[in-house]
Structure 1
Amino acid sequence: MAEYTMPIGPLHVALEEPMYFRVDVEGETVKNLEITAGHVHRGMESLAMQRNYFQNITLTERLCSLCSNSHPCTYCMAIENLAGIVVPPRATYLRVIADEIKRIASNLFNVGILAHIIGFESMFMHVMEIRELIQDAKEGVYGNRMDLAANCIGGVKYDLEEETEQFLRGQLEKLKKSLDRIYRLYENEPLIKTRTQGVGILPEKDAIHMGVVGPVARGSGIAYDIRDKAPYAAYDQLSFSVQTETRGDVQSRALVRLREAVDAVSLIEQSLDQMPIGPTVPDRLPNIPEGQSVARSEAPRGELIYYLKSDGTDRPQRLKWRVPTYMNWDALQIMMKDCKVSDIPLIVNSIDPCISCTER
């Protein structure tokens, strides 16, 4: 059987961002994979050191569109950890609401693209139509469909009036039945099962060895979620389950994302029910002292880590972040081993890679 090397990318069907794969193929079967990244380096960490702490909230929100709330929120948490800033109770719930709204939108986008890659265009359009419910909610609450501008050091920049809260509850109520219907289709629809079951398998032991995070890890049976293991904001006051699957294939990762979207609706509703009345920011902010701190959060794609080093001035001496895709993309070498060439876009999409915030 013929053996040859096939270049894929840096522009290709599964990603809107550039990433180059050098694939060794025997017939239609992938035998080896080499990943070449680094096409979209923007010098973001260097830019962060040239801006003050407040300007960097805007900068970090523009690292990535689908998890644009997780970056500034985790960045603010790193500052708060260093300076000993206590976030008001109401603001902790408002942070959860913003985070979970973005999680729903991000997860639905990924499973929608999965249907598009399969060629199930009616399902793709159906998922994206349902996603518009949460997009409209974002626009109604935050005034923007992508970057929410919800976070500030010590709290949040928005609050919910009664009318806005009722609008948000209405959008969530419409979303519930649609999410249940989509889940059943992704679980049982023959076309989806045929293309995704047993494809791109990442066994649990390999997932642990590779250090994968987020739905990629949970799709392989690893019940690891920062919201549960190291709660932040108001997550320790809320009830939710860490969603897992055991097969470790493309379908498992999609089902985990869909169940997490259902959980996100519940978390938002719990936050709205439990949120106390009070301020959304502290009365005053202290100067940021010299020192170092780390903050972690559960972004839609998995564990997000921010490292901050301060020299006591109004600008960070060093700001660095480690994003989920950095841990997950090496696992593609295991997922793609002995897969068919036609399955490559599906497997790449199943880790939901974000190149822009990884290479930054």
Structure 2
Amino acid sequence: MPNGLKTLTRYTIEEEHRHPGSSGEFSALVNVVATAAKIIANQVTRGAIVGSGVQDETSVSGRLDVLTDEIMVGQTQWSGHLSGLLSEQHATVLPSTQRRGKYLLAYDALDGSSNIDVNLPVGSIFSILRAPDAVVAGDAEPAETDFLQPGVEQVCAGFTLYGPATMLVLTTGSGVDGFTLDREIGAFVLTHPQMRIPEDTSGFAINAANERFWERPVRRYVLECLEGVEGPRGRDFNMRWVASLVADTFHILTRGGLYLYPRDTRNPALPGRVSLLYGANPIAFIVEQAGGAATTGHERMMEVAPAHVHQRVPFIFGSRNEVLRIERYHREPDAGKRFDSSLFGTRSLFRPAKHDQRT
């Protein structure tokens, strides 16, 4: 490890020393989650080798979805730092197998798992909440209702990115710090202290194939970006879509940008696609702590009151000024010029020549 770099273990201990009376339970929990991330990183990098002797039709992503969840449970459930765990892989809350700890853990062990089969970036996302006193004391069993806390109640949030380097990004409410796994010593070391998202950006990430389902404010925003220097924004934009929430988040943390997975009209009963408790809330916490903003389009993401543990929501986040613009467009849904249903305008994918542009 290069001289001067700080390990995650030292980082969490120093953070706890800043809070007199801390028991050390929180720093121990973060390091347990980090250990799970190291094991998952090792399995993810093996790709199709994982479970290659299994004689069934399960895809690599399907096998890794199950395996990574088992790793997260296996590393945290016994530790005594938690009262309960929650993920989409389980129909009910998993209680601690040891003593009741102060915290609850909501997580997605393998975000973007569909990218595994084509060797694109994936990651893990986690959110730490406080457990009710009655649960910690053993007077009540951990229940789904214990997890129904708005994002502002989070104690800690983080994600790991399994790419060319394995990264862990973390916030405890005092900014955002990024750690890189040094495989020589087997530890995460602080490499990206106090990450900040630029307030302005000329890049956005959205799945353009869903354009016909977007609400008018989102279509207005994207069209104005695509019009570039000749449109109302007066500058050119870049559009991309990785289909991996953690990969897009890390890009925004390092270079700025806007991520949109907006409300759409495909299924009125399912207006959003991103999990609130173990996706949108932890990412929103990180983004806000890095100077960005996160919204559903209509309200601040961190203030959404969860209705049920597997609730899914529209999710827009990134550079603050662009998020504020999107929110303004949602407050004035009928404003802006009229446009047709084609994302790329009335002629074709290609920009018309200057002398032939239509009004």
TM-score tier after normalising by the smaller chain length: under 0.3
Structure with larger RCO (C-alpha < 8 A, sep 6+):
1
> Which of the pair is proportionally richer in helix?
1
TM-score after normalising by structure 2: 0.26
TM-score by length of 1: 0.26
- Compare the two structures and name the one with the higher strand fraction: 2
Which of structures 1 and 2 has the bigger CA Rg?
2
